[in-house]
């Protein structure tokens, strides 16, 4: 936690490059806010009612990572990106230059940010905000125990797992190269890696994880999963087992991705999308260079783990 807090005071920027620095929060409509509160609390998040919304926090961190409102069905509502305050006029000028129409904030959303739609019609906000993406690679706790000492706790005596922060969201997109072009040229994200026209991973240019947003091809836009940074592989496995014990048995993991390198376990939420326990994802430093590459989907989806279930890539928002 100390390392995460220090990242707030050490925020830096890549000189001369206009880009958002963080995925400030994502927003969904869901059919039942109480069902959402129970799911995300079981997952280890702090789910706090606020007015007619539910906000998701991680323990000890001030950032609101997600805002949920009640609607007829689960649907991606909007994405909000954080930028440095003195970049907002530059973003306004860029949007004007590109002929991108502004929109009012979606109903009920309090905001003084810049609003427009992405190439799939999803409302997007750019607002002045504190940098919530990390300024250094999140550390994975692999502390060995001294010799002659048992490292594992007794079963049943472990504390519930607590994700440290939002890591990224993966969205369905009708045309992945088109979405990649929009998010790199308009929001200033950087392409990290991709696989054919099927998937693309984008990072923040002012220092972020390997991806803060990713896209996977589908017949309609939508929300596939949110990913949450965990402090250890133990916590990923423990979280998955605790969720299964509370009835959330559907998901995928334990495994390791190739693109991003993170260890993962996905838990299916009540609406057919997922929340991902993630650890040890690659990091793109503010002063580093990364050569974006395109890869074969077969060789880059996951390194090891069980085969994904057939429901893993179903876009319930396409119905």
Contacting positions for Fe ion (CB under 5 A): 227, 276
Q: Which residue is nearest to Fe ion (CB)?
A: 227
How far, in Å, CA of 211 to CA of 254, rounded?
A: 20
**74 vs 225, which CB is nearer to Fe ion?**
225
Rounded to the nearest whole angstrom, what is the least distance from the CB of residue 226 to Fe ion in the complex? 8
Nearest to 283 by CA among 257, 260, 263: 260
Name which of 28 and 83 has its Cβ closer to Fe ion: 28
φ and ψ of 13, to 5 deg: -145, 155
Using CB atoms within 10 A of its CB, is residue 262 exposed (0-12), middle (13-18) or buried (19+)? buried
- To the nearest whole angstrom, how small is the minimum distance from the Cβ of residue 1 to Fe ion? 22
Q: Which is nearer to Fe ion, 192 or 227 (CB)?
A: 227
- Cβ contacts of 136 within 8 Å, gap of 6 or more: 3, 7, 207, 283, 285
Among 65, 66, 28, residue whose Cα is nearest residue 270: 28
Our CA angle for 43, 58, 45, nearest 5°, is 20
Q: How far is the CB of 255 from Fe ion (least distance, A)?
A: 11
At closest approach, how far in Å is the CB of 11 from Fe ion? 24
* Nearer residue to Fe ion within complex by CB, 14 or 168: 168
The minimum distance between CB 59 and Fe ion, in angstroms, equals 21
Cβ closest to Fe ion, residue 122 vs residue 227? 227
Nearest-angstrom CA–CA distance, 262 and 279: 5
Pick between residue 24 and residue 276 the one whose CB is nearest to Fe ion: 276
Tokens 């790199």 belong to residue: 184
Going from the C-alpha of 170 to that of each of 23, 72, 100, 315, the distances in angstroms are: 12, 22, 24, 12
Q: Are strands 274-279 and 222-229 parallel, antiparallel or unpaired?
A: parallel
Distance CA 208, CA 7 (A): 11
CB of 167 to Fe ion, least distance (A): 7
Q: What is the token pair recorded at 159?
A: 């504390």
* Minimum CB–partner distance for residue 13 and Fe ion (Å): 25
By beta-carbon proximity to Fe ion, the closer residue of 11 and 198 is 198
């Amino acid at each position: 936690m100390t390392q995460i807090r220090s990242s707030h005071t050490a925020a830096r920027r890549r000189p001369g490059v206009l880009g958002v620095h963080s995925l400030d929060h994502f927003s969904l409509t869901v059919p039942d806010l109480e069902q959402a509160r129970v799911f995300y609390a079981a997952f280890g998040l702090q789910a706090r009612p606020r007015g007619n919304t539910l906000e998701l926090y991680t323990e000890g961190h001030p950032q609101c990572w997600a805002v949920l409102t009640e609607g007829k069905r689960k649907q991606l509502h909007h994405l909000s990106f954080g930028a440095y305050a003195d970049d907002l006029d530059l973003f306004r000028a860029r949007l004007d230059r590109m002929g991108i129409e502004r929109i009012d904030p979606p109903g009920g959303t309090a905001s003084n940010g810049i609003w427009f739609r992405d190439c799939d019609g999803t409302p997007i906000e750019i607002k002045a905000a504190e940098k919530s993406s990390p300024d250094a690679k999140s550390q994975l706790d692999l502390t060995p125990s001294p010799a002659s000492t048992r490292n594992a706790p007794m079963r049943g005596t472990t504390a519930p797992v607590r994700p440290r922060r939002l890591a990224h969201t993966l969205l369905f997109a009708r045309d992945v190269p088109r979405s990649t072009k929009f998010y790199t040229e308009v929001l200033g994200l950087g392409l990290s890696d991709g696989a054919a026209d099927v998937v693309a991973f984008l990072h923040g240019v002012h220092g972020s994880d390997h991806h803060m947003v990713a896209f996977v091809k589908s017949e309609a836009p939508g929300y596939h999963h949110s990913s949450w940074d965990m402090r250890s592989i133990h916590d990923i496995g423990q979280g998955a087992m605790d969720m299964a014990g509370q009835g959330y048995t559907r998901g995928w993991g334990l495994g390791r991705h190739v693109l991003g390198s993170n260890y993962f376990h996905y838990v299916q939420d009540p609406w057919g999308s997922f929340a991902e326990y993630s650890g040890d994802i690659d990091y793109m430093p503010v002063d580093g260079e990364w050569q974006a590459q395109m890869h074969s989907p077969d060789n880059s989806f996951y390194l090891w783990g069980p085969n994904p279930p057939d429901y893993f890539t179903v876009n319930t928002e396409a119905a």
